[in-house]
């Protein structure tokens, strides 16, 4: 069963059945002057859940970070060590993007604009996750769960 949300509001929250979710596709753009936008695969809909299997934080200009991608997870209420790989920064203000997250057995594979982008090893079982949350400075065109 595929679920598609067109032009959803931000923050965006959608419960999902991780027994069948294999791909998440997000289309949108960051408005001019955006600081960051963030994608969370988590348990529960709240803004500070105890369990987050995967965070993709796109930082245009946030804190000490400029044009940086940071990944992380939260286990039993404790944020783990942020990972900021040496990947390119494929996002620009006011330009459309497509992020695809593919859920594999042991990792999340992320594509941006149909290009392989990064892999993040699962540190928390995806079976315990039931929600996608997207927040901060982003305009969403489409979110597709399949």
Closest CA to 145 of 9, 13, 10: 13
Q: Which domain holds residue 56?
A: 3-145
For the chain, the residue count is 146
CA 122 centroid distance within chain: 14
Task: Give how far Cα 106 sits from Cα of 29, 123, 142, Å.
Answer: 29, 8, 27
Q: Output the pLDDT for position 128.
A: 80
Domain with residue 130: its CATH number is 2.60.120.200
64: phi > 0 → left, psi -120 to 50 → alpha, else beta; which?
alpha
Task: Give how far Cα 125 sits from Cα of 38, 104, 120, 130, Å.
Answer: 20, 11, 13, 11
Contact call for residues 15 and 130 (beta carbons, < 8 A): yes
| Tens of pLDDT, residue by residue, the chain (146 residues) | 789 999 999 999 999 877 777 899 999 999 999 999 999 999 999 898 999 999 999 999 999 999 999 999 999 999 999 998 778 899 999 999 999 999 888 899 999 999 999 999 988 877 788 999 999 999 999 999 99
Q: Output the pLDDT for position 101.
A: 96
Rounded to a whole number, what is the largest CA-CA distance in the chain?
Answer: 41
Q: How many domains does the chain have?
A: 1
Is residue 27 classed exposed, middle or buried when 0-12, 13-18 and 19+ CB atoms within 10 A define those classes?
A: middle
Token pair for residue 31? 């408005």
Q: Output the pLDDT for position 16.
A: 87
Residue 23 C-beta-side C-alpha neighbours within 13 Å = 11
């Amino acid at each position: 069963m595929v679920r598609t949300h067109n032009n959803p509001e931000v923050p965006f929250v959608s419960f999902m059945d991780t027994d069948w979710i294999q791909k998440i596709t997000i289309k949108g753009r960051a408005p001019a002057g955006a600081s960051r936008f963030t994608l969370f695969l988590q348990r529960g809909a709240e803004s500070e859940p105890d369990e987050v299997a995967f965070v993709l934080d796109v930082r245009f200009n946030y804190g000490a970070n400029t044009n940086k991608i940071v990944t992380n997870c939260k286990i039993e209420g404790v944020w783990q060590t942020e990972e900021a790989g040496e990947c390119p920064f494929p996002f620009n203000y006011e330009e459309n993007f497509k992020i695809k997250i593919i859920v594999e057995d042991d990792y999340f594979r992320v594509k941006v604009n149909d290009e392989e982008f990064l892999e993040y090893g699962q540190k928390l079982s995806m079976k315990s996750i039931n929600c996608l949350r997207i927040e901060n400075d982003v305009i969403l065109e489409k979110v597709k769960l399949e």
